[in-house]
């Protein structure tokens, strides 16, 4: 035990590595990175201190992947582009960007009953047709500031 502790101290492991679990290839950040790679989200991303995810280029296209829910450890924050989660089986938007989508936000053709957890701001269009609940333009306006058009069917 003494030998291990001294070796770690000599390397200044705790000081040089901001995320010791991540440096070992384990932990929440590693789980997030693995999920992003599995979904082929290769756009440049930042994992914030609260583990939310910012995508700084292009956007996110996770349509038609059979997604029922986002894993508990996935929470998008700001997307500098579009966010497309259409044609899945989502029953909740928990995990979708919570603040900002610069481009279109697309959540059509899922199993949504509410727009809870949708972004607060969408810089282009908002698509939410063909869900269990038939959302109205007013439903969207009550939860999100949409710059261009709202498509509900």
Q: Which band of pLDDT confidence, cut at 50, 70 and 90, is reported for residue 21?
A: low
pTM of the shown model? 0.82
Domain chopping of the chain, boundaries:
1-38, 43-151
| Cβ atoms of 96 and 76 closer than 8 Å | yes
Alpha helices of the chain — where are they, by DSSP H? Answer: 2-10, 13-16, 20-23, 28-38, 137-143
pLDDT tens column, 100-141: 999 999 999 999 999 999 999 999 999 999 999 999 999 999
Residue 15, classed as helix, strand or coil, is: helix
pLDDT at 10 over 80: no
Instruction: Provide the token pair at 27.
Output: 């932990």
Q: Which band of pLDDT confidence, cut at 50, 70 and 90, is reported for residue 18?
A: low
């Amino acid at each position: 035990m003494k030998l291990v502790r001294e070796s770690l101290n000599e390397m200044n492991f705790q000081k040089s590595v901001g995320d010791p679990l991540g440096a070992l290839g384990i932990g929440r950040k590693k789980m997030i990175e693995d999920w992003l790679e599995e979904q082929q989200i290769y756009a440049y991303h930042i994992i914030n201190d609260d583990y939310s995810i910012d995508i700084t280029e292009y956007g996110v296209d996770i349509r038609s992947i059979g997604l029922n829910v986002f894993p508990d450890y996935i929470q998008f924050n700001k997307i500098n582009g579009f966010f497309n989660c259409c044609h899945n089986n989502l029953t909740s938007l928990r995990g979708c960007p919570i603040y900002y989508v610069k481009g279109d936000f697309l959540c059509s053709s899922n199993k949504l009953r509410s727009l809870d957890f949708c972004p607060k701001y969408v810089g282009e269009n908002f698509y939410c047709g063909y869900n269990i609940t038939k959302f109205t333009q007013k439903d969207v306006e009550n939860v999100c500031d949409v710059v261009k058009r709202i498509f509900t069917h």
